[in-house]
Amino acid sequence: MAGTAPWCCSGVFGSLRWGELAALRRSDIEIQARTVRISRQLREQRGGGFAFGPPKSDAGQRTVAIPEVITADLASHIVTYAAPGDDGLVFTSPEGYPLRLSNFCRRVWRPALRATGLPMIHFHDLRHTGNQLAADAGANLRELMDRLGHSTTRAAMAYLHGSDERQQAIADELSRQATAALGGRNPGRSGTQRARRRGRAS
């Protein structure tokens, strides 16, 4: 499948499910606004064929903001590869048909992993990575739920684990806010330390 990079980047930076990506139409993407509207998903039917249906849950119907770093590649992909018309699918097979996960993994995903020396991870792991990146970027629980299309807190909570780096970042931000509140003056020593220093000086 041509245009694999925008597909994978959308999976990571949009935190979209496979079926949501496969169902995207030209009209669902606003490049200038940097948003993707999720209103349906593509489902493979038993015995062959495809069907478009609603997202996994009511919360799955959402608009996701995407980072600027992927918009140029995504816009180029739409112009070059997407099916024509507002309802044209953004991501298709080389023949222009809806994507089938098994074919994509066999023909594109696994060969790409081997070529880059990456382990045989699942495509869905891209969504997990995107979720973690959003949490690390500071998204709170409500924001994560909205972005991921989750109706309960349980799944989103999995990405809000703590880390030493995050704790240090929080401490640094608290310091910045305290310094700003003091008019740019750094309090430096504690009140006890300053009192002791004055006592020694007298």
Residues designated catalytic: 17, 124, 127, 150, 159
Taking the C-alpha atoms of residue 9 and residue 66, their distance in angstroms, rounded to an integer, is: 10
Taking the C-alpha atoms of residue 75 and residue 82, their distance in angstroms, rounded to an integer, is: 10
Cβ contact 56:32 at 8 Å: no
Helix (H, G, I), strand (E, B) or coil at 197: helix
The secondary element (H helix, E strand) that includes residue 202 is none
76-99 burial string, b = 16+ CB within 10 Å, else e? Answer: ebbeebbbeeeeebbbbeeeeebb
In sequence order, what DSSP letters do the residues of 29-78 get, joined into one string? EETTTTEEEE--EEEEPTTS-EEEE--SSGGG-EEEE--GGGHHHHHHHH
Q: Per the structure block, which two tokens stand in for 175? A: 């310091």
